[in-house]
Amino acid sequence: MNAYIANLLNAVALILFSIWAYLGSINPSMTAFIPFVFGIMLLSLNNGVQYKVISQVRVAAALTLLVFLALIKPLDGSIGRDDHMAIFRVVGMMITSFLALLYFIMNYKSALISSKKY
């Protein structure tokens, strides 16, 4: 899997899980659309990630890290409420974000290795 595929899967997961959270809630809140917005931003950067436009790759990696860290608080809240579906959704978004971060890091390392001159 490449970084752009991981980014695409992460963006789609963020979009779908946030829609699911909003529609599945008894008292829907607009904060459920925060991952949706980040998913749209990551989706818009995916073409640049695919063609390795370095500025877009860096922005996508930074947004992915921000999403991963920002999901810690909702995970804590869902565990406190003992809401198993919310835990599943948040953990799903965290897993896809973490995997995308791993692929961004691996892509960066391989670019550094291939650019070394002997």
**pLDDT score for 116:** 57
Relative orientation angle of helices 54-70 and 3-23, to the nearest 10 degrees: 40
Contact, 39 vs 118, CB < 8 A? no
Distance CA 56, CA 16 (A): 23
Using CA atoms, how far apart are residues 109 and 94, in angstroms rounded to an integer? 22
State pTM to two decimals. Answer: 0.91
pLDDT (tens digit, 9 = 90+) per residue, 10-48?
999 999 999 999 999 888 899 999 999 999 999 999 999
How does residue 118 score in pLDDT terms, banded at 50, 70 and 90?
very low
Q: Which domain holds residue 45?
A: 3-115
Dump pLDDT digits (tens) for 43-96.
999 999 999 999 999 999 999 999 999 999 999 999 999 999 999 999 999 999
Angle at 89 between CA 81 and CA 43, to 5 degrees: 140
The Cα–Cα gap between 110 and 6 comes to: 16
Count of structural domains within the chain: 1
